[in-house]
Structure 1
Amino acid sequence: MPLPAPIANLGRRIELVPLLVLLLTGGALWAFFGLAAEMIEGDLHAFDERLLLTLRNPDDPGDPIGGRRLAVAMRDLTALGGVTVLTVISLSVLIYLLLDGRRASALFLAVAILGGQALSHLTKLGFSRPRPDLVPHGVEVATASFPSGHSLMATVTYLTLAVMLSRSTPKRRIRAFFILTAALIAVLVGASRVFLGVHWPSDVLAGWSLGAAWALGVWLVARWLGRRGRIEADTASDA
């Protein structure tokens, strides 16, 4: 039995992919605010302590599992979420977009990443959670703990870069490669922060959640601007 004309027309106007991304964005924000509320009430303390100590020698909390080589690898991974590495990579992609004649996309990317950086600083100032004191820190830290700035900015930067790069290719497998690589790097950066004892696990979960919400929002805005000619259009359909 065919659907009534108004319902059929509505179904054609509602596009599945943007709707799904919008739902994911809302879910990521819900997760962040839920974690923030639980953190303020102190309900995450037992979970954080248990997971943080799981990564340490039971007889010596100052000794991380895996030995020296794993500790060195984790310090290398954590640098991927640092300001220096993120700046170099972001500038490289910006230059690529400019050389490719995508000036509007380059400007949009710069604003998106700087906005994510501002979001990271503001949320840290707003919550001012102390850093973990259960174990020695594997690297130097100077800011508040919640949310994890490295996790947030790695998620914001790498996923936003992946989104903007994926708009320049119609190949699904290349787009999937960009997104999955960005997500993997963000996960590794966040895991390294817990391993090195400089963040509670809930800090990292909050950073991933808020960073993902920002990056997904950037995708929606980029799509909207592209369809209105404000930035260069996507080279492929949502499929």
Structure 2
Amino acid sequence: MKLNHTLRDLTRRVEAVTLVAFLAAAGGLWAFGGLAAEMMEGDLHAFDERLLMALRTPGDPADPIGGRAVEQAMRDLTALGGVTVLTLITLSVLCFLLLRGRRASALFLAVAVVGGQLLSNLAKLGFSRPRPDLVPHGVEVSTASFPSGHSLMAAVTYLTLAVMLARIEPRWRLRVFLIGVAAVLSVLVGISRVYLGVHWPSDVLAGWSLGAAWALMVWLVARFLDRRGQLDSSAGNGD
């Protein structure tokens, strides 16, 4: 009797987590759609300009606040959302999963990250928003502005890596730590893009929204496959 009660409680908790993740993913997609619509109508210009200029020395748009040390730190942070760094980190985690004997998880992760990259490219192709021209660019850029590819791919890659690693981590504190670090890195990359003047703030918000939604959907699919026995079973029973 007690065992049945415990199983029912666990089932309810698992389903509640799934529902929350689904609603959060839907919320991310809704936020991205809303930002895209507002951007195309030109309603975000005042908001974007106000925040972008807030990161510049008053009277001198060419001078970011904080001085050269902060500017160099922002260039370092923005590199964390670049293709080279994200590829190296992803390959490292893939090797880790393969060494742990989790081949299905490694394959799933590779497909999820590559899919996120395709999503980023398609999203950029769907919009032709120019880059900010109010301030000098702190790094070289060549693609369209909306959404921020660095912000989107940082969210996709770091959050997807975090949720996949969290699946095989039995201690909930370390799971929270992994996801927390991924979220912080994604936020810092996005902030650096605005600070360096290569993206409007709404570009970054859109990238975060779509990237987080993708990572949550990846997690939901992983749970579904796990229950069907088509993915390496998680070590922690940690839903």
Question: 1:221 — aligned with what?
Answer: 221
Instruction: List 4+ stretches of structure 1 deviating above 4 A.
Output: 11-14
Residue identity in the other structure for 1:122: L
For residues 1-239 of structure 1, what are the structure 2 equivalents within 5 Å? 12=12, 15-239=15-239
Pair 156,14 (structure 1): closer, same or farther in 2 beyond 3 Å: closer
Shift of 1:179: 0.1
Matching residue's letter, 1:41: E
* Partner in structure 2 of residue 3 of structure 1: none
Is residue 167–residue 238 contact of structure 2 (8 Å, CA) maintained in 1? no
* Change over 3 Å in CA distance of 1:12–1:208 after alignment to 2: closer
Deviations 1:26-49 (A, max 9, x none): 111110000000000000000000
The 1:14–1:64 alpha-carbon spacing in structure 2 relative to 1, beyond 3 Å, is closer
Normalized against structure 1, the TM-score is what?
Answer: 0.94
**TM-superposed deviation, 1:13:** 9.5
Unaligned runs of 5+ in 2: 1-7
Which runs of 5 or more structure 1 residues have no equivalent in the other structure? 1-7
> Take 1:136 and 1:52, find their aligned partners in 2: how far apart are those partners?
12
Alpha-carbon deviation of 1:14?
Answer: 7.5
- Sequence identity, in percent? 72
CA RMSD, aligned part only? 1.5
Instruction: Report the alpha carbon displacement of residue 101 of structure 1 after superposing the two structures with TM.
Output: 0.3
1:160-192, Cα deviation, whole Å (9 max, x unpaired): 000111111110000000000000000000000
* Cα contact 1:17–1:238 (8 A) shared by 2: no
Q: TM-score, normalised to structure 2's length?
A: 0.94
| SS of match in other structure, 1:151 | helix
Q: What is the aligned residue count?
A: 231
Given residue 55 of structure 2, which amino acid in structure 1 is its aligned partner? L
CA contact (8 A) 2:104 2:231 kept: yes
